[in-house]
């Protein structure tokens, strides 16, 4: 692709030039401090109280969990498929029964492990995931607005067609702009992750327990606390990758507008999953963008938004969404006349 290197460097420079980078980092630090104070307030009010209220792992409770699941599943046998598909309680009961059986068979209890998605006590792990969750929304908004401005905004201003006066192909331009936003966003995530890790280890108890996750309500996975944090980190950057692809797609198809793609993207980032959950069950569950990009839920006891969804289908659908949006973005941008 002719001119890729030059335009990639130019896009990176626009994003990380001294004044712009300073503003971005300052905003991140301010948000970081604000939510750290909020977490500290929660921490001081609740203290080290275990927020995961689970009965002890005894043979009686294991059998009770399994019986509760079986009884509820039998109760649903008389219902139609749609009712079963939307009953999240069935997934939760099955996952709980599987978790209790695993802990009992391996002579473990909740003093030796924490649950993925809750981390039991308010500790360094809880703090880091809390901050990463906040920063995920902030960085996703930054990334989406940036990629949209890089296409729709520059097209409106007339600077996009000026860039093509140089020996650069449209494929090189779209790839360079996309990767520049991606690299900067990932760097901001890494900065946030390291900063949160340092503060979390210094200010809060380090939770050295093993973390257990229930995969698709069928398999129990054990990992170290650090391993669980890495899973969170990968989840957040992968979801931001999907949102950047979404922003690129919207800016290419809605080429006459800058505000509309931004508004649509912000709605999807902030309340997209809730909208999809309200819109419909079976249909949206299989094709929904937000519901399927929330694959982290498949590692928790409560599970995905709909009980028939699982980690592999959610990841697969997310990949199809992202690949489809990127492919269409390339095709439409290549065929479009940006001089008009």
Measured distance CA(202)–CA(182) in Å, rounded: 30
Write the pLDDT tens digit of every residue in 225-282.
999 999 999 999 999 999 999 999 998 888 777 889 999 999 999 998 888 877 755 5
- Are 308 and 85 in contact by the 8 Å Cβ rule? The answer is yes
Please indicate whether residue 281 or residue 101 has the higher confidence score (pLDDT). 101
Measured distance CA(34)–CA(124) in Å, rounded: 17
- Reported pTM: 0.88
Q: Which two tokens stand for residue 168?
A: 């650069």
Residue-level pLDDT at 163: 60
Q: Which two tokens stand for residue 337?
A: 């006349």
Question: Which residue do the tokens 């569950």 mark?
Answer: 285
Write the pLDDT tens digit of every residue in 266-315.
999 999 888 887 775 555 667 889 989 999 989 988 888 777 788 998 99
Measured distance CA(183)–CA(201) in Å, rounded: 27
- Strand 219-223 to 210-215 pairing: antiparallel
**Coil, strand, or helix at residue 251?**
helix
Conformational region of residue 233, where left means phi above 0, alpha means psi within -120 to 50, and beta covers everything else? alpha
Residue-level pLDDT at 247: 94
Average pLDDT of the residues in 30-49: 81
- The structural domains of the chain, with segments of one domain joined by +, span 4-54+110-335
Sign of CA dihedral 127, 128, 129, 131: positive
DSSP-derived secondary structure letter, 218: T
């Amino acid at each position: 692709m002719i001119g890729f290197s030059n335009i990639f460097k130019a896009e990176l420079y626009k994003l990380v030039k001294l004044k712009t980078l300073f503003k971005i980092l300052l905003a991140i630090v301010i948000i970081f401090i604000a939510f750290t104070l909020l977490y500290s307030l929660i921490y001081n009010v609740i203290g080290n109280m275990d927020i995961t209220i689970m009965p002890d792992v005894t043979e009686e409770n294991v059998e009770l969990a399994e019986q509760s699941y079986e009884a509820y599943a039998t109760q649903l046998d008389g219902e139609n498929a749609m009712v079963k598909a939307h009953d999240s309680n069935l997934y939760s009961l099955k996952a709980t029964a599987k978790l209790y059986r695993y802990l009992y068979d391996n002579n473990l209890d909740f003093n030796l492990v924490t649950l993925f998605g809750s981390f039991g006590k308010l500790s360094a792990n809880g703090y880091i995931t809390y901050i990463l969750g906040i920063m995920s929304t902030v960085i996703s908004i930054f990334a989406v607005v940036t990629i949209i401005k890089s296409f729709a905004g520059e097209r409106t201003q007339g600077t996009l067609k000026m860039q093509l006066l140089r020996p650069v192909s449209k494929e090189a331009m779209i790839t360079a702009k996309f990767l520049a936003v991606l690299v900067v966003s990932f760097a901001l995530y890494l900065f946030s992750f390291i900063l949160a890790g340092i503060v979390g280890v210094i200010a809060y108890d380090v939770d050295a327990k093993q973390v257990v996750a229930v995969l698709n309500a069928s398999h129990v996975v054990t990992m170290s606390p650090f391993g669980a944090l890495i899973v969170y980190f990968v989840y957040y950057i992968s979801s931001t990758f999907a949102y950047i692809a979404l922003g690129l797609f919207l800016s290419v198809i809605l080429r006459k507008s800058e505000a509309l793609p931004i508004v649509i993207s912000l709605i999807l980032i902030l309340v997209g999953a809730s909208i999809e959950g309200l819109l419909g069950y079976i249909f949206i569950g299989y094709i929904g963008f937000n519901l399927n990009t929330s694959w982290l839920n498949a590692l928790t006891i409560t599970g995905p938004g709909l009980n028939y969804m699982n980690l592999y289908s959610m990841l697969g659908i997310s990949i199809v969404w992202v690949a489809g949006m990127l492919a269409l973005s390339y095709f439409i941008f290549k065929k479009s006349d940006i001089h008009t």
